[in-house]
Amino acid sequence: MASVLGRSSRSRRRGMAEINMVPFIDVMLVLLIIFMVSAPLITTGVIDLPSVGKAQQRPTQVIEIMVEDISKLRIRSDGDEFTAVRVQDLTKKVAQLQNGQSDVPVVISGDKSVKYEAVVKVMDTLQRAGVKRVGLSVKLGD
């Protein structure tokens, strides 16, 4: 009997199975106050986006390539009528219209239904052929 009483008289301490939430709540409230005080002091960043500029003076000669599809290209120079050209013959036709002047700009334009891949392929073809000034035509406004 003494051993039974002795065992019960010894108190074994059990570990707490609960998490004490009070320090956690205190830390969260302090962080909340810090963020509430510092939020109005933060300045918003300004991002400088590129814009479409207008040239001061239009070049004397411009070659325009209209992309309808990768297999349907039309080309013109200085407001002449568009003539159909194939992708394989594009570099020859551009070189012919440039008359040996490599600084004559080439502008690529296309409808909104044209795949981006077709426009990039035309631009890549021209840059590989050594055309220095290749640009994209954009429509301003609506």
Quick one: pLDDT band at residue 23, thresholds 50, 70, 90? very high
Question: Is 13 inside a domain boundary?
Answer: no
Between 96 and 32, the higher pLDDT residue:
32
Question: Is 118 inside a domain boundary?
Answer: yes
Question: Is 22 inside a domain boundary?
Answer: no
Question: Is 106 inside a domain boundary?
Answer: yes
Q: What is the CATH number of the domain that holds 120?
A: 3.30.420.270
Residue 17 sits at the vertex; the CA angle it makes with 12 and 21, to the nearest 5 degrees, is 130
Give me the number of domains the chain comprises. Answer: 1
User: How many Å apart are CA 131 and CA 93, to the nearest integer?
Assistant: 12
User: How many Å apart are CA 52 and CA 42, to the nearest integer?
Assistant: 31
C-alpha distance from residue 87 to each of 76, 130, 139 (Å): 15, 15, 24
72-129 pLDDT tens trace: 888 888 777 888 888 888 888 888 888 877 778 888 888 778 888 888 888 888 888 8
DSSP per-residue letters across the chain = -HHHHHHHHSPPPPPP-S---HHHHHHHHHHHHHHHHHGGGPPPP----------SS--S--EEEEEEETTEEEEEETT---EEE-TTTHHHHHHHHHTT-TTS-EEEEE-TTS-HHHHHHHHHHHHHTT-S-EEE------
Domain that holds residue 102: 63-136
DSSP per-residue letters across 8-42 = HHSPPPPPP-S---HHHHHHHHHHHHHHHHHGGGP
Question: Is 130 inside a domain boundary?
Answer: yes
Question: Is 108 inside a domain boundary?
Answer: yes
Quick one: pLDDT band at residue 62, thresholds 50, 70, 90? confident
Question: Is 100 inside a domain boundary?
Answer: yes
pLDDT, position 63: 87
Question: Is 91 inside a domain boundary?
Answer: yes
User: How many Å apart are CA 55 and CA 83, to the nearest integer?
Assistant: 26
